[in-house]
Amino acid sequence: MSSLAPDVSIVVPVYNEEDNILPLVDAIDSVMQRVKRSYEILVVDDGSSDRTWEKLAEARKRLPQLSIVSLRRNFGQTAALAAGFDAARGRHVVTMDGDLQNDPEDIPTFLALLDEGYDLVCGWRRDRKDRFLSRRLPSRVANALLSDLTGVRVHDFGCTLKGYRAAFVKQLPIYSEMHRYIPALAGSVGARVTEVVVRHHPRLHGKSKYGMTRVIRVLYDLAALRLLTRFAARPLHAFGVFSIPCFLIAGPWFLFTFFDHTTGEPIHYSTVVFPTVLFLLTYLGFHFLVVGLLAELAVNVLRTKSEMVVRVHEAAGGAA
């Protein structure tokens, strides 16, 4: 059924949140009824294996503003968010976690700031209700690093509760764990960014989907981010820097290898050329493999977004 586009899309990625999802969509719905703007609640089911999908289907019968996007398998929170951004029809988009740790009561604050003209409004969980060692400490370090590296003065990059101008967020390249870096990406394209303190609650039902390995992946993504924000338009500059010392060392070494150091006479080519060719062929073998894999990835980035989605249930109407 086609309907007028709503003004606001609330996007919620969920993976196995069967006990949280109904109270959450009801809470969002009641906040949005009060706000009196047209809206859709867009839940992205990231391949849940519990009863999340059934619960959502049930909720759809009484909530006409609920849209569900269902992913083929568990793709991860960032991919789920990206699918949500893709499907969102609102002019303003607000994202939040599906585990009731973010509070729907904060949504109106985000909408007010977006109305003021910000492209991105970041939530700041100043009083965060998570474990210290596995969550708050690594997050504090990562936030300090990110803020320094990118010059974007935001305290809490990782908070999912954020508000975006749709036209802006739909253009961002996000994959891997990149949703955490949206403020940094935003800063690099000159978007207007602000932050606001939000409520945060402990998780009451279900389990957190992340462990300590996240810390390592987040670090690698930091390197990728640096490339994206600084060198996206000129990647050759980033990689070219590494080729300079290689060539500088290889040039003189080349001469050194072909002449006998004591006599200065050229040495017989077979002693030098054979091992070199052997090494070169081995290296080239790997090199072509890696280039091929890279090309595969580049092609896939264009494909996966649409292939992730199995079914979409669009909200019945756009009116509040």
List contacts with ligand UDP (CB under 6 A). 13-15, 17, 46, 74, 76-77, 80, 97-99, 101, 208-210
Options 75-83, 91-99, 153-161, 292-300: segment touching Mg ion (CB under 5 A): 91-99
Query: Using CB distances below 5 to 8 A depending on partner kind, what does residue 209 bind out of ligand UDP, Mg ion, none?
Result: ligand UDP
> CB neighbours of 251 closer than 8 A, spacing ≥ 6?
none
Helix (H/G/I), strand (E/B), else coil: 45? strand
Query: Using CB distances below 5 to 8 A depending on partner kind, what does residue 221 bind out of ligand UDP, Mg ion, none?
Result: none
User: Which stretches of 171-212 are DSSP H helices?
Assistant: 182-188
What is the residue type of 300?
A: N
Nearest approach, Cβ of residue 15 and ligand UDP (Å) = 3
Query: Using CB distances below 5 to 8 A depending on partner kind, what does residue 164 bind out of ligand UDP, Mg ion, none?
Result: none
Classify residue 262 as left (phi > 0), alpha (psi -120 to 50) or beta.
alpha
Asked if 40 and 90 count as a contact pair (C-beta separation under 8 A), the reply is yes
What is the residue type of 129?
A: K
Nearest approach, Cβ of residue 296 and ligand UDP (Å) = 23
Nearer to ligand UDP, 11 or 185 (CB): 11
Nearest approach, Cβ of residue 6 and Mg ion (Å) = 26
Is position 101 an interface residue for Mg ion (rule: CB under 5 A)? yes
d(CA 159, CA 122): 7
Is position 38 an interface residue for Mg ion (rule: CB under 5 A)? no
Is position 29 an interface residue for Mg ion (rule: CB under 5 A)? no
Going by the DSSP 8-state scheme, the letter that residue 106 receives in this structure is G
Is position 95 an interface residue for Mg ion (rule: CB under 5 A)? no
- Residue at token pair 């904060």: 106
Strands 8-14 and 92-95: parallel
Options 20-28, 99-107, 214-222, 296-304: segment touching Mg ion (CB under 5 A): 99-107
